[in-house]
């Protein structure tokens, strides 16, 4: 069975074993929309989605939730946001206007952007906006409990701190006047908090009736585990180190809320090959849309499905793209020929948004590099046309110069006598009527032997004449794609 070979199935088995007697399992994920949601954040949601699929494949009902932590404070102005947004620092992300369009909040802009991207790769969780949950006072009882047991929470947090907390409140109040969190709690009686703000305002708020309070992350996370009954949730390496937020949250959910600790797995970072780690708050981002410009949705999934969450990896945009497409196509071929092992079968199926009964008919990425640059795109089926768009984007934005070429109209180089003889022989062979790509390839070496030229010199000469470079796509394929008549016309200039 595939379950023995795939990490998500093992986690699903563990959830079923440890979280018995549940009618429906809850798998969670989420992020603070502090800026553009990057591909590193995507790793969390696809990790959760794969466990959701594994549970469903075992016949279990699952609630897949994704929390937008949009009631968090605005901390830092990202590089891609206007500089005057510093005035909003300290306000909830959901209460700041969008810097890009009217009638949206800052949070909504980034949330909707990412939600649309997730649809493209077949991920459709139930989105929960925490600003709405807080403003509707849904967590009031749990926040009250945290306040009542604040000394216990402080004791848990201080286990992992070099400088112990002394005057600690497990709640933040957003000022009713300036809307910022620059507040100090003066007193709490039941649900009523008395507070003062740096703006000079003083007030009282009943947080069971007016939702202007928010729990800080290390309390908010376990509070929501309790509220939603979360059975599984992954977290980044930063949350998973000793003393990190998972260390404290699992103690708080158990000791303060008498809730259960979710099954947890940490995931490592994703980088661009040769690039930096991503950060929404700094604006250093590569989005899921950016990746989808070059990779098909199923291949984006393939990059993540085939790598265990605990293993970091790089997303390539150089010539490795060709190899990744070839590896995926080979897996797809063997899947439909029923030549895959159980692990490979499971990986391929989890890459699919919708599994096709028949093998999709697509031209290889490598061959499309030639077709795109020679303009030979007529007659392509839908799948190949979509892949050709990925090739175009890759050639425009990322491909090395060795992969780009332009068909030459005139010969611009001087040829030695053996080179002339070889090119004349090539022209003569091309003038014959019928031959396959393999037969043409084999003829290259027959010509080399006949005229006494090194094969490396033959190929370099042909490439320089045809595309003005010393190397390029497979020569036989290139010639047949361009059309032998055009190549013959070019070679007629050899005298």
Q: What is the DSSP string of 63-116?
A: EEEEEE-TTSBP----TTS-GGGGGGTTSBGGGSBPSSSTT-BHHHHHHHHHHH
Average confidence (pLDDT) over 233-244 = 90
Listed residues 345, 365, 385: the one ending a domain: 365
Bridge pairing between strands 62-68 and 25-31: parallel
Q: Of the residues 243, 271, 299, which one is the last residue of a structural domain?
A: 271
Dist. CA 477–CA 462, nearest whole Å = 13
Query: 240 pLDDT band (50/70/90 cuts)?
Result: confident
Domain residue limits at 178: 2-271
Q: Within a domain: residue 372?
A: no
Q: How confident is the model at residue 1 (pLDDT cuts 50, 70, 90)?
A: very low
- Cα of first residue to Cα of last residue in the chain, in angstroms, is 66
Output the six-digit token pair for 471.
């190397």
| Residue that is last in its domain, among 271, 300, 324 | 271
295 is a domain residue: yes
Nearest to 109 by CA among 64, 75, 78: 78
Q: Which residue bears the tokens 């466990």?
A: 51
What's the rounded Cα separation, in Å, for the pair 362 and 365? 9
Give a yes or no: residue 390 inside a domain.
Answer: no
State the Cα–Cα distance between residues 383 and 390, nearest whole angstrom.
11
Residues 243 and 123 in one domain: yes
Cα separation, 382 vs 300, in Å, equals 19
3-state SS of 220-269 is HHHHHHHHHCCCEEEEEHHHHCCCCHHHHHHHHHHHCCCCCCCEEEEECC
Q: Are residue 255 and residue 123 in the same domain, yes or no?
A: yes
Select, from the ranges 307-311, 332-336, 466-470, the one with the highest average predicted confidence (pLDDT): 332-336
Tens of pLDDT along 314-354? 999 999 999 999 999 999 999 999 999 999 999 999 999 99
Distance CA 334, CA 139 (A): 51
> Which residue intervals of 306-340 are DSSP H helices?
320-336
pLDDT at 83 (0 to 100)? 78
Confidence class of residue 168 from pLDDT cuts 50, 70 and 90?
very high
> Across all residues in the chain, what is the average pLDDT?
94
Instruction: Please state, for a pLDDT cut of 90, what percent of the chain lies above it.
Output: 87
Mean pLDDT of all residues in 11-36: 94
- Which H or E run includes 345? helix 342-351
SS3 content of the chain, % helix, strand, coil (to 5): 50, 15, 40
Assigned domain for 200 exists = yes
**Per-residue pLDDT tens over the stretch 261-282:** 999 999 998 988 854 454 544 4
* 259 and 304 part of one domain: no
Question: Distances in Å between the alpha carbon of 375 and those of 243, 370, 381?
Answer: 58, 8, 15
Q: Are 224 and 311 in a shared domain? A: no
Count of the separate structural domains present in the chain: 3
Taking the C-alpha atoms of residue 169 and residue 144, their distance in angstroms, rounded to an integer, is 11
Distance CA 453, CA 59 (A): 66
Given this model, what pLDDT does residue 495 score?
A: 83
Across 233-257, average pLDDT: 93
Whether pLDDT at 219 is above 70:
yes
Report pLDDT for 284.
58
- Residues with Cβ within 8 Å of residue 268, at least 6 apart in sequence: 237, 309, 310, 311, 312, 313
Average pLDDT of the segment spanning 251-260: 97
- Give mean pLDDT, residues 362-379: 94
Q: What pLDDT was estimated at residue 195?
A: 98
CATH code, 481: 1.10.10.350
Helix (H) / strand (E) element for 365: namely: helix 365-374
What is the H or E stretch that residue 45 is in?
helix 39-57
Of the candidates 226, 225, 227, the one whose C-alpha atom is nearest the C-alpha of residue 235 is 225
Domain co-membership, 199 together with 306: no
> What six digits make up the tokens of 477?
């394929």
Burial class (CB within 10 angstroms; exposed 0-12, middle 13-18, buried 19+) of 431: exposed
Q: What is the pLDDT of residue 2?
A: 46
Predicted confidence (pLDDT) per residue in 389-414, tens digit = 999 999 999 998 888 999 999 999 99
Query: Quick one: which H or E segment has residue 205?
Result: strand 202-206
Q: Is it the case that residue 30 has pLDDT exceeding 60? A: yes
> CA 260 to CA 152: how far, in whole Å?
18
pLDDT over threshold 70, residue 260: yes
Share of the chain above pLDDT 70, in %: 97
- For residue 315, the surrounding DSSP H or E stretch is strand 313-315
């Amino acid at each position: 069975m595939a379950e023995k070979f795939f990490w998500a199935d093992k986690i699903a088995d563990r959830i079923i074993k440890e979280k018995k007697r549940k009618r429906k399992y809850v798998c969670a994920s989420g992020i603070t929309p502090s800026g553009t949601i990057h591909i590193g954040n995507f790793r969390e949601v696809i990790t959760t989605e794969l466990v959701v699929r594994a549970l469903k494949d075992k016949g279990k009902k699952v609630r897949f939730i994704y929390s937008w932590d949009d009631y968090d404070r605005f901390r830092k102005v990202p590089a891609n946001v206007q500089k005057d947004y510093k005035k909003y620092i300290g306000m909830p992300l959901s209460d700041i206007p969008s810097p890009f369009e009217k009638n949206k909040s800052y949070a909504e802009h980034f949330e909707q952007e990412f939600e649309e991207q997730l649809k493209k790769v077949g991920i459709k969780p139930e989105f929960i906006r925490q600003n709405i949950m807080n403003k509707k006072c849904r967590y009031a009882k749990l926040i009250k409990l945290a306040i009542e047991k604040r000394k216990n929470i402080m004791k848990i947090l201080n286990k992992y701190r070099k400088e112990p907390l002394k005057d600690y409140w497990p709640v933040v109040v957003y000022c009713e006047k300036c809307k910022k969190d620059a507040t100090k709690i003066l007193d709490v009686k039941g649900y009523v908090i008395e507070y003062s703000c740096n703006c000079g305002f003083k007030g009282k708020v009943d947080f069971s009736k007016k939702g202007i309070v928010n729990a800080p992350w290390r309390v908010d996370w376990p509070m929501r585990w309790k509220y939603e009954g979360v059975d599984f949730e992954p977290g980044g390496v930063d949350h998973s180190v000793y003393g990190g937020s998972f260390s404290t949250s699992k103690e708080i959910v158990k000791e303060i809320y008498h809730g259960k600790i979710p099954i947890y797995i940490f995931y490592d970072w994703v980088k661009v090959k040769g690039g930096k780690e991503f950060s929404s708050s700094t604006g250093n981002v590569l989005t899921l849309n950016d990746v989808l410009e070059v990779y098909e949705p199923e291949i984006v999934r393939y990059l993540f499905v085939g790598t265990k969450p605990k293993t970091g990896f790089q997303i390539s945009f150089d010539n490795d793209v060709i190899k990744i497409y070839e590896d995926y196509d080979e897996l797809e071929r063997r899947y439909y020929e029923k030549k895959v092992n159980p692990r490979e079968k499971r990986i391929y199926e989890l890459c699919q948004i919708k599994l096709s009964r028949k093998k999709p008919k697509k031209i290889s990425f490598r061959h499309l590099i030639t077709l795109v640059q020679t303009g030979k795109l007529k007659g392509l089926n839908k799948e190949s046309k979509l892949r050709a768009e990925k090739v175009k984007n890759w050639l425009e934005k990322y491909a090395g110069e060795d992969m780009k070429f332009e068909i030459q109209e005139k010969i611009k180089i001087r040829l030695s006598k053996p080179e002339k003889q070889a090119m004349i022989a090539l022209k003569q062979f091309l003038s014959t009527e019928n031959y396959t790509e393999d037969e043409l390839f084999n003829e290259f070496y027959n010509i080399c032997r006949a005229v006494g030229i090194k094969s490396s010199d033959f190929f370099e000469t042909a490439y320089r004449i045809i595309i003005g470079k010393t190397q390029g796509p497979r020569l036989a394929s290139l010639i047949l794609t361009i059309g032998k008549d055009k190549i013959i016309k070019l070679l007629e200039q050899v005298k």
